[in-house]
């Protein structure tokens, strides 16, 4: 029953993330769920997209457009991620903060993939949350959180300067820099180094594969936020084990 509750909670939070992912980039107050095509309000039964998809009702009753697949996928992802975190950490403050961090990272992934935006209105409060979390999460202190945030910020600020000078404006944006700071704060020092390396490696490998397979060209924009999210989340959960494995080889 605990796992069912946590899974359901993740789905509900996923529905909220979907709403934030639509409203925050538009700089508007949080609105009632609506169709992204005709703007008609969704019926209450469709406020959470996943159940309506399961029963085959994932269409707008006004224009008959299909609800974008991102909506049920985000809900399902957070449902499984919340469940995984609960099974790993139980009903502890660590679970609570990790679930909040995961929610923020999923929201950032959505806005970066869809709008090429990583919003300060998300990352700045997230950094405050990470600082508070450093007092409750085992294995990290407020000093290591601040140092990790500083390393993440400075590293990606320099990378942004170099990238914009060598490739052109937009290679890395200010949102990537603040996201790197948030990732550094939740992983802390020294794990921030691992998180940034994983982000850089995964970004380089996947970008190269996209170019080689001609899915993207060298001039196409490839959002970097999802790679920082991946590196940060993997390090958050398995960073110590990865470090032990690496140095034991």
In sequence order, what DSSP letters do the residues of 127-162 get, joined into one string?
Answer: HHHHHHHTTTSTT--HHHHHHHHHHHHHHHHHHHHH
Mean pLDDT estimate for the chain: 89
Note the pLDDT of residue 41: 82
Q: Which of 54, 71, 69 lies closest to 17, judged by CA? A: 71
Record the tokens describing residue 154, joined without a space: 């400075």
Computed over its alpha carbons, how large is the radius of gyration of the chain? 19
Residues of the chain with pLDDT under 70: 56, 167-171, 217-220, 249
Note the pLDDT of residue 171: 63
Q: DSSP 3-state assignment of 61? A: coil
pTM attached to this predicted model: 0.93
Residue 160 near residue 201, CB atoms below 8 Å: no
How many Å apart are CA 75 and CA 12, to the nearest integer? 7
Q: How many secondary structure helices (H) and strands (E) does the chain include?
A: 9, 0
**To the nearest 10°, the Cα dihedral for 110, 111, 113, 114?**
100
Note the pLDDT of residue 220: 67
Residue 227 near residue 199, CB atoms below 8 Å: yes
Note the pLDDT of residue 61: 79
User: Which residues, at least 6 apart from 180, have a Cβ–Cβ distance to it below 8 Å?
Assistant: 152, 153, 155, 156, 196, 199, 228
């Amino acid at each position: 029953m605990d796992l069912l509750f946590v899974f359901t909670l993740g789905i509900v939070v996923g529905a909220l993330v979907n709403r934030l992912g639509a409203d925050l980039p538009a700089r508007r107050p949080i609105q009632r769920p609506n169709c992204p095509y005709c703007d008609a309000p969704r019926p209450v039964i469709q406020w959470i997209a996943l159940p309506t998809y399961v029963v085959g009702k994932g269409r707008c009753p006004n224009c008959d457009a299909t609800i974008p697949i991102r909506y049920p996928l985000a809900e399902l992802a957070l449902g499984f991620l919340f469940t995984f975190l609960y099974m790993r950490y139980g009903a502890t403050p660590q679970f609570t903060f990790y679930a909040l961090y995961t929610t923020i990272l999923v929201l950032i992934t959505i806005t970066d993939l869809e709008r090429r935006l990583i919003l300060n209105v998300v990352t700045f409060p997230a950094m405050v949350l990470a600082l508070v979390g450093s007092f409750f999460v085992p294995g990290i202190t407020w000093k290591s959180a601040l140092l990790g945030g500083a390393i993440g910020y400075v590293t990606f600020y320099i990378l942004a300067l170099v990238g914009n000078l060598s490739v052109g404006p937009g290679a890395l944006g200010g949102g990537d820099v603040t996201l790197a700071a948030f990732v550094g704060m939740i992983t802390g020092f020294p794990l921030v180094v691992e998180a940034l390396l994983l982000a850089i490696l995964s970004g380089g490998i996947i970008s190269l594969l996209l170019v080689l397979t001609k899915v993207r060209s060298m001039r196409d924009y490839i959002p970097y936020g999802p790679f920082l999210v991946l590196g940060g989340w993997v390090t958050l959960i398995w960073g110590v084990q990865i470090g032990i494995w690496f140095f034991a080889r």
